[in-house]
Amino acid sequence: MQKTLLFIDKVSTWVGHAFSWLIVGLTLLITWEVYSRYVLHHSHPWVYDYMIMMYGTLFMMAGAYTLAKNGHVRGDMIYGYFRPRAQATIDLTLYILFFIPGIVAFVWAGYYYAAESWAINEHSNITSEGPAYYPFKTIIPVAGAIVLVQGIVEIIRCVICIKQDAWPSREADVQEVDVDELKKMVHVKDEDIQKLDAYVVHQEPGK
Amino acid sequence: MKLRKELWFGYSIMALIIIPVILLTPWGDLFDGNLSRADLGVLGLLMLALICVGIMIGFPTAFTLMGMGVFFAWLAYRSVNPELANRQVLDLFVQRTYGVMSNEVLLAIPLFLFMGYLVERAQLIDRLFRSLHLATARVPGSLAVATIVTCAIFATATGIVGAVVTLMGLLAFPAMLKAGYNVKVSAGAVTAGGCLGILIPPSVMLIVYGAVAGVSVVQLYAGAFLPGFMLAGLYVGYIIVLAKWKPALMPPLAESERYVALPHFAQTLAQHGSNAFTGLWRAVTSSGSDAVAKRTALGQLFVTLTPALFLAAVLAVTWQLATAPEIEASTAGLIEAGGLVAAPEKESEMSTGLIGATELETEKPTGAAEGSKELSPPPVLEKAKTEGAKEVPGAVKAPKAKPAEKVAAEPERLPVPLWLWIAFGIGIGTIVLIYWLWNWERLEVFKMLLSSFFPLALLIIAVLGSIVFGLATPSEAAAVGGFGGFVLAAIYRFITHRRDAKATGSNPGAAVWKTVKELGGIVKESSFLTAKTSAMVCWLFVGSGIFSAAFALLGGQEIIEKWVLSLNMTPVQFMILAQLIIFILGWPLEWTEIIIIFMPIFLPLLPHFHIDPLFFGLLVALNLQTAFLSPPVAMAAFYLKGVSPPHVTLNQIFAGMMPFMGIQLIALALLYIFPAIGLWIPHALYK
């Protein structure tokens, strides 16, 4: 079971990683466009469409990845103080109550939305002769479906956790604040921090 | 024991919401079979209460919003026409989602995040801190001052509180403790400084607010600039005063701590005199001295002259702009403004669509009117032009090449040149003073600053400047900034590797290869993090899109509005109440949730009290910054605790943050009493 869960995690992560490269493309595209406009005095109207599409695709396709890494923002007022079993019970209930209906509606609505766009062969309404928009709109149901699958994985995780009273493991990923990495970057070792304690203790009697 | 206490706190707040809801809701009316208009409004309020509880329980907020939004929107539609309800809800949901996906304002978020992550990994913070520490060595409390300044610059460029506090906790905190600084003061400086990045643009928070409120991000950036630096200035002022007042808290640095090692040539030349400027000048001009190679001296002289050259360039540009003939100025203005106007106007329209509150519809025409007002030439030119045109018609015709004395000599041309003249005087005075004090140590410190402080400052100024002066939209500037961040990371990593290669004697090709390999890693990590964080923020927008639409459909907004208006508050009372609520929300919630979910409830109330949403946004940004420093949930404190020596307690850190929190409240009050602090720049530039 755990293997299957981790495999789906990996798929979501892989999709998220693959699409996260869009930010590099987006940065380069806009930088080049700015350069082209100010230095070469030649701007490309279609760049605007691609900018929007790259941004939209980037965050939509990273939704499941973020879910797989437990990265969606949570109100952490009492949740963190619960035992894992209580956490899992809350999560399980709300996944079924909120997540499943919400995301199912999302995929369903997105499916019809995209289908309409395909049917009329929709192109950009922002720039004339702009690029096709139906692939972009297809992103909605596709991203929603991946999030749904990942959500089912999370639900199974909750069930496992309720049984074991411990969260099943996840695979590691890049962290926003990776303390060890930052320590390495500024060449600080744990011993250095330990040594500093002398200065702190030294101050104590004064107060 | 501690766990229990915190759980109790959470439970009691939830009870505070749930019990009144259960008692006050007219359950009988809701379940009597048909939903009247009033019942829907009640449902709206019920939904709001439920979402508060839902968020507090700790389920991912984006999905809570989605689930609830879909359900309540369906209820609202069903009460009108049960047959169409399913179809309508799905349409609404997908349109809201697509609105977020194609939102031009939010587009800037991943770009700024990417820039931040790149700069964070550029390996320049230790250089930055070291050079600033030496530069401020003579100031009382110099290490704490250097900490704040480093944070202000670095946090501005990255905008990631956790990373900045952790890094400064590893770099500055030990340095301060070693120098005998008080633990509390040191902790306060690190945490307070680390949070500055939230307010000082380019901050992601202001983009999110701009998208929610339909306020132009450009104006928000222009407005947040002064309050941000005012806050940093207040911090620095507080530290200096405290260091003077109680030197025991921050003893002056030992001689060894501020010693600047001079390179060989400087030691040789220093024997002839302590002023580096004259010393170098002599070394370059005198033909006899062979103590120092001409090339070295010339290079150093060039470095020495950079401030003067920079000032000359700035003054020349100002001069050009101020005295440019009228025709030239106005056409140049129109071309530039063309690019400028398209962005803010479209932004405001697109983002009003996002919120879905009916009130905002009325704002559209005014937004468009503002847009057309903005069509006038850009700020500097216009200011110069109108001043010139109103008071001295002759001045504008003055050819650029006209000698300065002549312009100054003719009395009727004074107004334009007068401020320019004063600027000239101040600039030249400063430069003379700088060179007067320019000794060999200062030259070394300046060179260090040149390789750490100025590149980063230049990047920020370029990004902000191009946004504020309308040369680029925020997303364009962010993309170029991200590219700049990449270049910075490349240069700094390469310098480090080349130094290592030189030290170990390996060939320089290896350094290039190592840099490229590392850069690959940096870009990869940064883009993954960007994807995760922007997914977090934007999915929250997707969820809140359907949620706020449902809230508007149910008419919850109307009820709140009627209720608030029935209280007969003065604008001041309303403002204080709103800020107080936001401050309290800042404890349990993240700023993203507060702005995306709760701000749309406040925003439609603003016109009733004649409050500028721009000004409100600045207050909110300053206010939410306080939330990062207010115990018991201050995140900054926990990041610092994670890297501090074991005997530093959380309580000490909290105690250290308190005075800085007080300063933030003072800053909030100052901004409130003197709105010009925030509004002066946007008004001068765009009105």
Q: Is A77 close to B13, i.e. CB distance below 8 A?
A: yes
Question: With 50 as the cut, is the pLDDT of residue B378 above it?
Answer: no
Q: What is the reported pLDDT for B238?
A: 92
Cα dihedral: B133, B139, B142, B147 (round 10): -70
B351 interfaces chain A, CB cutoff of 8 Å? no
Q: Is B174 close to A201, i.e. CB distance below 8 A?
A: no
- What is the distance between the alpha carbons of residues B78 and B81, in angstroms, rounded to a whole number? 5
Sort B99 into a burial class: Cβ within 10 Å, 0-12 / 13-18 / 19+: buried
A177 interfaces chain B, CB cutoff of 8 Å? yes
Q: What is the reported pLDDT for B342?
A: 37
**Pairwise pLDDT comparison (B2 vs B106), residue with the higher score:** B106
DSSP letters for B46-96: HHHHHHHHHHHHTS-HHHHHHHHHHHHHHHHHHHH-TTTHHHHHHHHHHHH
Question: With 60 as the cut, is the pLDDT of residue B337 above it?
Answer: no
Nearest to A97 by CA among A151, A157, A165: A151
Question: Which residues of chain B are within 8 Å of residue A105 when distances are taken between CB atoms?
Answer: 66, 70, 89-90, 93
The answer to whether residues A114 and A140 touch, using CB atoms and an 8 Å cutoff, is yes
Question: Which residues of chain B are within 8 Å of residue A194 when distances are taken between CB atoms?
Answer: 645-646
Question: Which residues of chain B are within 8 Å of residue A67 when distances are taken between CB atoms?
Answer: 60
- Percentage of chain A surpassing pLDDT 70? 97
Give the mean model confidence (pLDDT) for residues B195-209: 85
- The three-state secondary structure class of B263 is coil
Question: With 60 as the cut, is the pLDDT of residue B321 above it?
Answer: yes
Residue B399 DSSP symbol:
-
Residue type, B255: E
Among A81-85, A191-195, B190-194, B659-663, which is the least confidently predicted range? A191-195
- What is the distance between the alpha carbons of residues B390 and B615, in angstroms, rounded to a whole number? 30
Query: Which of 374-433 (B) contact A at CB < 8 A?
Result: none
Q: What is the pLDDT along chain A (207 residues), one digit of tens a residue?
A: 778 888 888 888 888 889 889 999 999 999 898 888 888 888 888 888 888 889 999 999 888 888 888 878 877 777 777 888 888 888 888 899 888 988 998 898 888 888 888 888 777 777 777 788 888 888 899 999 999 988 898 888 888 888 888 888 777 777 777 777 777 777 777 777 777 777 777 665 444
Alpha carbon distances (Å) from B527 to A19, A25, B541, B644: 9, 10, 21, 29
A52 interfaces chain B, CB cutoff of 8 Å? yes
Sort B397 into a burial class: Cβ within 10 Å, 0-12 / 13-18 / 19+: middle
> Confidence band (pLDDT; 50, 70, 90) for B32?
low
Q: Is A81 close to B10, i.e. CB distance below 8 A?
A: yes
Which residues lie below 8 Å from residue B174, measured CB to CB, with a gap of 6+?
A188, A192, A193, A196
- Nearest CA to CA, how far is A119 from chain B (Å)? 17
Highest-pLDDT range among A115-119, B63-67, B313-317: B63-67
The answer to whether residues B306 and B314 touch, using CB atoms and an 8 Å cutoff, is no
- What is the distance between the alpha carbons of residues B238 and B660, in angstroms, rounded to a whole number? 9
Question: Which residues of chain A are within 8 Å of residue B177 when distances are taken between CB atoms?
Answer: 196, 199-200
A76 interfaces chain B, CB cutoff of 8 Å? yes
**CA-based R_g, chain B, Å:** 29
Q: What is the reported pLDDT for B641?
A: 85
- Percentage of chain B surpassing pLDDT 70? 79
> Confidence band (pLDDT; 50, 70, 90) for B352?
very low
> Confidence band (pLDDT; 50, 70, 90) for B74?
confident
B111 interfaces chain A, CB cutoff of 8 Å? yes
Q: What is the reported pLDDT for B235?
A: 92
Among B185-189, B318-322, B351-355, B537-541, which is the least confidently predicted range? B351-355
Q: What is the reported pLDDT for A204?
A: 57
> Confidence band (pLDDT; 50, 70, 90) for B31?
low
- What is the distance between the alpha carbons of residues B579 and B599, in angstroms, rounded to a whole number? 11
Task: Give residue-wise pLDDT tens across range A78-134.
Answer: 777 788 888 888 888 889 988 898 899 889 888 888 888 888 877 777 777 778 888
A123 interfaces chain B, CB cutoff of 8 Å? no
Alpha carbon distances (Å) from B208 to B110, B194, B475, B682: 12, 20, 13, 18
Question: Which residues of chain B are within 8 Å of residue A59 when distances are taken between CB atoms?
Answer: 101, 110, 531, 534-535, 537-539
State the average pLDDT for chain B.
77
Among B407-416, B434-443, B463-472, which is the least confidently predicted range? B407-416
This model of the complex carries an ipTM of 0.90
**Pairwise pLDDT comparison (B209 vs A38), residue with the higher score:** B209
Give the mean model confidence (pLDDT) for residues B607-634: 83
Q: B17, B475, B647, B648: best mutation site toward chain A, by most A Cβ within 10 Å? A: B647
Q: What is the reported pLDDT for B397?
A: 41
A145 interfaces chain B, CB cutoff of 8 Å? no
Sort B125 into a burial class: Cβ within 10 Å, 0-12 / 13-18 / 19+: buried
Looking at the DSSP assignment, which residues form a beta bridge with residue A132? A123
Per the rule left: phi > 0, alpha: psi between -120 and 50, beta: everything else, B470 is: left
Q: What is the reported pLDDT for B177?
A: 86
- Nearest CA to CA, how far is A156 from chain B (Å)? 16
Among A53-62, B69-78, B140-149, B316-325, which is the least confidently predicted range? B316-325
Among B95-109, B314-328, B563-577, B664-678, which is the least confidently predicted range? B314-328
**Pairwise pLDDT comparison (A82 vs B98), residue with the higher score:** B98
- Nearest CA to CA, how far is A193 from chain B (Å)? 5
Question: Which residues of chain B are within 8 Å of residue A182 when distances are taken between CB atoms?
Answer: 163, 166-167, 170
CB atoms within 10 A of CB B138: 9
A157 interfaces chain B, CB cutoff of 8 Å? no
Cα dihedral: A98, A99, A104, A105 (round 10): 50
Task: Please tell me which of the candidates A58, A91, A201 has its beta carbon nearest to residue B59.
Answer: A91
- Percentage of chain B surpassing pLDDT 90? 2
Query: Which of 454-473 (B) contact A at CB < 8 A?
Result: 471-472
Q: Is B646 close to A91, i.e. CB distance below 8 A?
A: no
Q: Is B170 close to A51, i.e. CB distance below 8 A?
A: no
Among A96-100, B176-180, B358-362, B677-681, which is the least confidently predicted range? B358-362
- Nearest CA to CA, how far is B283 from chain A (Å)? 38
A81 interfaces chain B, CB cutoff of 8 Å? yes
The answer to whether residues B234 and B663 touch, using CB atoms and an 8 Å cutoff, is yes
- Nearest CA to CA, how far is A3 from chain B (Å)? 24
- What is the distance between the alpha carbons of residues A13 and B655, in angstroms, rounded to a whole number? 41
Q: Is A30 close to B111, i.e. CB distance below 8 A?
A: yes
The answer to whether residues B242 and B407 touch, using CB atoms and an 8 Å cutoff, is no
- What is the distance between the alpha carbons of residues B682 and B687, in angstroms, rounded to a whole number? 7
Q: B113, B168, B528, B651: best mutation site toward chain A, by most A Cβ within 10 Å? A: B528
Task: Please tell me which of the candidates B68, B100, B648 has its beta carbon nearest to residue A98.
Answer: B68
B219-248: string of b/e by CB count within 10 Å (b at 16+)? bbbbbbbbbbbbbbebbbebbbebbeeeee
B218 interfaces chain A, CB cutoff of 8 Å? no
Task: Give residue-wise pLDDT tens across range B384-417.
Answer: 444 444 444 444 444 444 444 444 444 444 455 6
- The three-state secondary structure class of B275 is strand
Task: Give residue-wise pLDDT tens across range B105-141.
Answer: 889 899 988 988 888 887 778 888 888 888 887 788 8
Q: What is the reported pLDDT for B416?
A: 57
